[in-house]
Chain A
Amino acid sequence: MIRLTDVHKSFGENAVLRGVDLHVPRDESMVVIGGSGTGKSVLIKSVLGLVTPERGTITVDGRPVDQGDRDAFLARFGMLFQGAALFDSLPVWQNVAFRLLRGALRRPRDEARAIAIEKLRRVGLGPDVADRLPAELSGGMQKRVGLARAIAAEPEIIFFDEPTTGLDPIMAGVINDLIREIVSEMGATAITITHDMTSARAIADRVAMLHGGKIRWTGPVADLDASGDPYVEQFIHGRADGPIKAVR
């Protein structure tokens, strides 16, 4: 359903994506792994049009993402940003219910609040945080509010940028289960970026590894341990020596 073909993106001299080809089938959970700074966040932002690639095509359901009605296009997506990106002037529940309080998906305020509190519960946050401001929460709590916001309007396609970084192992487990549940029960298509291999194994149907501006390897999660690719081997076992250099 999401297809990237020969996508290039550089920032000045820094060529980040150098010909990325990737296909994410409908209703599947794709996990993207890769070293810090290899362009994983840039990759998903270019699907959403937040970053414009210099070359290559990105299509969703066969339609180029830069054509057609942008509002209708974005309405299908949910996104958790790496830094949560909560609106700091709005209380937590209004962040979560942002989409439900305005525009095409608008609901009555009480209903929007009830949905927000339910979504907060699903990411392990109690109703007492609903009226706090984002700045009053810890980093991991902010991340979970961002997650609740991403899933609040039940989008068909969801991007999670490092959903479990900064969470304790138990909470990370809760979030892994939640993402898995969203894909299998709500029938969503997901792309998750993570460095956490436990999380990757728990969430993924397929895994893709980004390295050197290209997709180095992609395959079903079951093949991850037998990929035969020295880069993937080094990455999943976290070895210091191997083809991937420590200083990049």
Chain B
Amino acid sequence: MIGAALASVGGAVLALLAALGRLTLFTGQTLSHLLRPPFYGREFALALVQIGYFSLPVVGLTALFTGGALALQIYAGGARFSAEAVVPQIVAIGMVRELGPVLVGLMIAARVTSSIAAEIATMKVTEQIDALVTLSTHPMKYLTLPRVLAATLVMPLLVGVGDVIGIFGGYLVGTERLGFNAAAYIRNTADFLEPLDIVSSLVKGAAFGFIAALMGCYYGMHSNRGAMGVGRATKSSVVAAAVLILAANFILTEAFFSA
């Protein structure tokens, strides 16, 4: 009885370690292609546009509404301690340090990870990956590296845009609904934010972009056969990306701000 329970726990731990090992290997292989020519510039450029440019609307809307809601909540919460005036500062710090990177990361997991996983998994089940190999093209170099690299480089920009729009959402609500003075709101925000806040935001962005694209590629490449395989790969990739992004966020916050 206890033996069986232990065995099942042990089995789960072993499976987790095996998955971790495979993932580490996959990451290493992806990065090793960075150092070996050729580099597929066209694929990289396409990935930049797909992941970066086309994500702007969803990132902007997410940040705008979140910044606005944040301002309302901080105002209502602050009112209990007669501290309504802190709205600009807390919106700024909340958006830049946490909500900007995390929400943009999760939106990218939904939008980009899923589409990468579905695309690569479909290529796998229709033998397009095998075809790439027979055409002397390494699938990791051609499919994985450009996407992972593009996501890692473009995500800090998206997060930066998200931060600015989020703060702007707070500003709109603050000045239009809560009676803040426009010039004072902007001054308070600018004075309060420190370089470290912004650096941490952009570093988180890069890390989350890396995770999001890597998970899409990993689950896509390891997809099982058939439509069900593609569906499962897509679902697993988004779940894994979201969980890893939140975990990485905790670790990075700890690293940057706990002192």
Chain A residues packing against B (C-beta within 8 Å): 45, 48-50, 71, 74-75, 77-79, 81-83, 85-89, 98-99, 102-104, 149
B128 in contact (CB, < 8 A): yes
Q: Given the complex of chains A and B, what is the CA–CA distance between A78 and B131 in angstroms?
A: 10
**With a CB–CB cut-off of 8 A, which chain B residues contact A75?**
136
Complex Cα distance, B40 from A81, in Å, reads 24
The yes or no answer to B137 lying at the interface (CB within 8 A) is: yes
Q: Do the beta carbons of B130 and A104 come within 8 Å of each other?
A: no
Contacts of B132 in A (CB 8 A): 87
C-alpha spacing A71/B137, complex, angstroms: 8
- Min CB–CB distance B259 → chain A (angstroms): 48
A-B contact pairs, 20 of them (CB 8 A): A45-B130, A49-B133, A74-B133, A74-B134, A74-B135, A74-B136, A78-B134, A79-B131, A81-B130, A81-B131, A82-B127, A83-B126, A85-B131, A86-B128, A87-B132, A88-B126, A88-B128, A99-B136, A102-B38, A104-B136
Q: Are A83 and B137 in contact (CB under 8 A)?
A: no
Min distance, Cβ B42 to any Cβ of chain A, angstroms: 8
Which residues of A are found within 8 Å of B40, using beta-carbon distances?
Answer: 102
The 4 closest A-B pairs by CB, nearest first: A85-B127, A85-B131, A79-B134, A74-B136
- Please tell me if the beta carbons of A81 and B136 are within 8 angstroms of each other in the complex: no
CB distance from B202 to the nearest CB of A (A): 31
Chain A contacts for B130, CB-based, 8 A: 45, 50, 81, 85
Distance between Cα atoms of A110 and B127 in the complex (Å): 28
Q: How far, in Å, is B95 (CB) from chain A's closest CB?
A: 36
Q: Which of B130-164 contact A (CB under 8 A)?
A: 130-137
Contact, CB under 8 Å: A83 / B127: yes
Contact B136 A87 (CB under 8 A): no
* B123 contacts across to A, CB distance below 8 A: 87
8 A Cβ contacts from B107-122 to A: 119
**Contact of A81 with B133 in the complex, beta carbons under 8 Å:** no
CB distance from A151 to the nearest CB of B (A): 12
Contact across chains for B137 and A103 when beta carbons are under 8 A apart: yes
**B38, A87: Cβ atoms closer than 8 Å:** no
The answer to whether A98 and B126 touch across the interface, beta carbons within 8 angstroms, is no
A48 engages B133 (CB within 8 Å)? yes
Chain B's nearest CB lies how many Å from the CB of A74? 5
User: Are A71 and B136 touching (Cβ within 8 A)?
Assistant: yes
Q: A81-B131, A85-B131 are in contact. Are A103 and B136 (CB under 8 A)?
A: yes
Kindly state the separation between the CA atoms of A206 and B10 in the bound complex, as whole angstroms. Answer: 55
How far does the Cβ of A68 sit from chain B's closest Cβ, in whole Å? Answer: 14
Contacts A102-B38, A103-B38 given; indicate if A50 touches B133 (C-beta within 8 A): yes
* B window 157-191: CB within 8 A of A: none
Residue of B nearest to A78 (CB): B134
Besides A83-B127, A103-B137, 15 more A-B contacts (Cβ < 8 Å) are A49-B133, A50-B130, A74-B133, A74-B136, A79-B131, A83-B126, A85-B126, A85-B130, A85-B131, A87-B128, A88-B128, A98-B135, A99-B135, A99-B136, A104-B136
